Amino acid sequence: MKKITLLLSLFVGFLLNASGQTLLEPSFRFSGQKPIYVTMEDGTEMQGTLKKLKRKKGLIRLVIIKDAKGEKHELQPEDIKFMYLFPSGVDGLARAVVLVHDATKWGNTYVKPGLIAEGYVYFEKSKVKVNKKERTLLMQVLNPSFGGDIRVYHDPFASETASLGVAGIKVAGGIAKSYYIRKGNEVAIRVKKKNYKKKVFVSLFGDCKKMAKKFPKVKWSDLADHVDTYGKCKE
C-alpha cells in the first residue's frame, strides 16, 4: 500500500503540474464503514454509516443509513440538500492524493475542505435538464476544489476518452464525453464533447473577457482549465 501511495503521489503531482486543474474521476461504490455526512433540506444534519444506496439508471433513488444508536433511516433524494460519502477501496486513496495536492489553493466555499481532502465524494441537490425536462436530482460534483459557482457534475451515462493510471488504478485524465454543468443558480445542462466548441463555450463562459484571450482555440480536453479560469474571473 505504501508503494502504491508513493506512485500515486508522484504520478498525480506530475499530472497536475503538466495540465493544471483536473476533474475528479466519479466514484460508484462507497464504504459502509466510514461515516456518512448528510444535511437535509430542512437544515437537519445527520451522521451514520451507509447501509444501502439504491440507484436506477445511474441516479440515486434512496439512501439508507444507520445512526450511532443503530437506528436505520431511509432518506429520499428530494429531502437531501447535500451529502458526503466515502469511496470504497483504493478509489478513496486516489481521490485523497489528488485533492491534498491542491488543498492550499481551494477557492470553493460550499464544501468542507477537511472532508474533501480525506477523499470524500460530495453530492448536492440541483435542478437538471434531462431530455428537455427539468428534474431535481442528487448530483456528484467533480470540481469541489475550484471553479467558484460553476459546478461540473458527473453524467452517469457518459462514455470516456482514454484515461491514465498507475499500478492498475485509474487516477485522472480520462475526461468523459459529456458532463452536466451548472452556472450559478441556473438549471444544470448536459454538455457534450461534440457540441462544446464555440457556441456552448461562449454561452457558459462568454461573460468573462479573460476566456477568449487565454483560450483562442476551444478544446474539450481543457474543460477543467476553462472552469477554473472562469471561477477566478472576478477575482
pLDDT tens track for 134-178 = 999 999 999 988 888 899 999 987 764 434 333 333 444 457 899
- Predicted pLDDT at 91: 56
State how far the Cα of 235 lies from the Cα of 231, in Å rounded to an integer. 8
61, part of any domain: no
pLDDT over 70, % of the chain: 75
Q: Using an 8 Å Cβ cutoff, are 60 and 54 in contact?
A: yes
Residue type, 58: G
Let me know if residue 141 belongs to a domain. yes
CA distance 179 to 182: 10
User: Does 78 fall in a domain?
Assistant: no
Q: Residues 142, 226: contact at Cβ < 8 Å?
A: no
What is the count of structural domains for the chain? 1
DSSP category for residue 88: P
User: Rounded distance, CA 52 to CA 25, Å?
Assistant: 22
> Residue 5 pLDDT > 60, yes or no?
no
Record the cell numbers describing residue 33, joined without a space: 464503514
Compute the distance between CA of residue 222 and CA of residue 146 in angstroms, rounded to an integer: 14
Identify whether the C-beta of residue 227 lies closer than 8 Å to the C-beta of residue 152. Answer: yes
**How does residue 12 score in pLDDT terms, banded at 50, 70 and 90?**
very low
- Residue with more model confidence, 98 or 181: 181
Q: Which domain covers residue 8, as residue numbers?
A: 2-29+87-231
Element (DSSP H or E) covering residue 124: strand 121-130
The pTM of this model reads 0.82
Q: Residue 101: enclosing H or E segment and its boundaries?
A: helix 90-101
3-state secondary structure (DSSP) of residue 221: helix
35 in helix, strand or coil? Answer: strand
Please say if the pLDDT value at position 100 is more than 60.
no
pLDDT for position 103: 45
Q: Give residue 227's pLDDT band: very low, low, confident or very high (50, 70, 90).
A: very high
Pairing of strands 150-154, 72-75: unpaired
Indicate the range of 18-32, 75-89, 155-169 predicted with least confidence. 155-169
Per-residue pLDDT, averaged over 87-98, amounts to 62
Name the 3-class secondary structure at 26.
Answer: coil
Phi, then psi, of 18 in degrees rounded to 5: -85, -35
Examine the pLDDT at 62 and tell me if it is beyond 60: yes
Instruction: Count CB neighbours of 105 within 10 A.
Output: 10
Is residue 37, in this structure, part of any structural domain at all?
Answer: no
Higher model confidence: residue 107 or residue 145? Answer: 145
The pLDDT > 90 percentage for the chain reads: 52
Domain membership flag for residue 112: yes
